[in-house]
Amino acid sequence: MQRTRGKVFGVVVAIAATGLLAACGGNDSTASSTPTLTRTTAATTPTAASTPGSDTSQQQAPAPEPEQQQAPTVAPERPQPVPTNAAPPADDSKLSDKDKKFLDALKQQGVTPSTPDIALSVGNYVCQGVKSGASDQDLMTFVTAMAGSDPSFDPAKMPVEKAGQAYISAAKQTYCQ
């Protein structure tokens, strides 16, 4: 039970941190190009026109500016996607009857989590929220975020709000009993 609470707490903290960082604004504070170093030199000798009694025919030509070398542009590295077969197969022998009923209720509603641990963590979160008197709207906010973060979730097949509602209704019907 402690491991499950820890997982749920970790997921909730990660989602809250992501939302906080996303709410901080646009991407205006990052550099858009590689800076180049340029040398700026100020004239340390007085000009011929400002020096009294100087001959203007002996003015020095300005020194040519050194050419700036452009640094080669390197594309940022992108992480490789995680293969879909990277998750270990579920060991159904460790699941209780209540766990299996909850997973079956999710499948009937069209939700297939990548691992049972993810679904069970969401189910535990829903049951804890129900016991503490949280409203369905409060639960829906976090449950949809957790459902949408599942690697097997495909928004083209089902809206994330519908998946969140499926988790809440399945947990209330089978898991929170």
Query: Given a cut of 50, is residue 86 above it in pLDDT?
Result: no
**CB-based contacts of 139: which residues, under 8 Å, 6+ apart?**
125, 126, 129, 130, 168
Write out pLDDT tens, residues 113-165.
999 999 999 999 999 999 999 998 999 999 999 999 999 888 889 999 999 99
Say which DSSP state 158 is in.
S
Specify the higher pLDDT residue, 121 or 8: 121
Cβ atoms 85, 77 nearer than 8 A: no
- The C-alpha atoms of residue 151 and residue 105 are separated, in whole angstroms, by 20
Q: Mean pLDDT in the chain?
A: 75
In the chain, which residue ranges form alpha helices assigned H by DSSP? 2-22, 97-108, 116-132, 136-148, 160-170
Question: What one-letter code names the amino acid at 121?
Answer: S
Segment 9-18 mean pLDDT: 73
Specify the higher pLDDT residue, 87 or 118: 118
Q: How many CA atoms lie within 13 A of 80 on its CB side?
A: 4
Specify the higher pLDDT residue, 18 or 128: 128
Q: Which of 111, 107, 122 is nearest to 154 (CA)?
A: 111
Whole-number pLDDT of residue 109: 93
Cβ atoms 56, 48 nearer than 8 A: yes
